[in-house]
Amino acid sequence: AQSVTQLDSQVPVFEEAPVELRCNYSSSVSVYLFWYVQYPNQGLQLLLKYLSGSTLVKGINGFEAEFNKSQTSFHLRKPSVHISDTAEYFCAVTPNDYKLSFGAGTTVTVRA
Amino acid sequence: EAGVAQSPRYKIIEKRQSVAFWCNPISGHATLYWYQQILGQGPKLLIQFQNNGVVDDSQLPKDRFSAERLKGVDSTLKIQPAKLEDSAVYLCASSLIVGTHEQYFGPGTRLTVT
């Protein structure tokens, strides 16, 4: 079975500052990794995914994430956030490409 | 293209009542998922359909939850009877085929059981 731990439940950040959201996972097999964003009263939207290849993955809206197999981590970063990045962010893993296991989420609040 | 549609968006019922949620996936998407998202937690998969057949319902509480996907398009999720702990957002997602990592989510139905 797989499990996902998002180390920060809430991250307040000022506009134009960088942000990092931490995600660690546990699995006995190789996994695929994802970050989803959920804006208020909306469904989840895929930000980026790691399937194979380069461990640095670039996604939409200026986000990127780095897969670290030895540390079983997949941290999400953005160098400069906007007010519109205020949302909840979910890390997810799957061993077989469809049954996603999600973390509990990190709420990002961007302040002017 | 139109996204995944869900209705109703909000529902309040009393415990022991029944409730049904509806989902219309993206046109052409063969795979449909229902997730339960309890406040403060990530979504949890309840059931997955491939066309009108069930692929995985291992986490569906079958004594009170049921789901169907007639004709391989729309789907309904039913709870009967509801319990207080069923209060959650119910998300529907769809993907082109099983085994693809690109799931598209609807806005969800927020259920409150009082």
Q: What is the CATH number of the domain that holds B21?
A: 2.60.40.10
Residue B98 has pLDDT above 80, yes or no: no
Rounded to a whole number, what is the distance in Å from the CA of A61 to chain B's nearest CA? 17
- List all residues of chain B from 27 to 86 with a beta carbon under 8 Å from chain A: 31, 40-45, 48, 56
CB pairs under 8 A between A and B: 58
Q: With DSSP H G I counted as helix, E B as strand and the rest as coil, what are the percentages for chain A, rounded to 5?
A: 5, 55, 40
CB of A11 within 8 Å of a chain B CB? The answer is: no
Interacting residues of B89 by C-beta distance below 8 A, sequence separation 6+: B36, B37, B108, B109, B110, B111
Residue A37 has pLDDT above 60, yes or no: yes
Q: Name the residue type at position A88.
A: E
Distance in angstroms (rounded) separating the CA atoms of residues A104 and A52: 24
Quick: pLDDT tens for B42-57.
999 999 998 889 989 9
B22, B73 Cβ separation under 8 angstroms: no
The number of folded domains in chain B is: 1
Residue B71 has pLDDT above 90, yes or no: no
Q: What is the CATH T-level fold of the domain A3-111, as seen in this structure? A: Immunoglobulin-like (2.60.40)
Domain ranges of chain A: 3-111
Domain enclosing residue B96, as ranges: 5-113
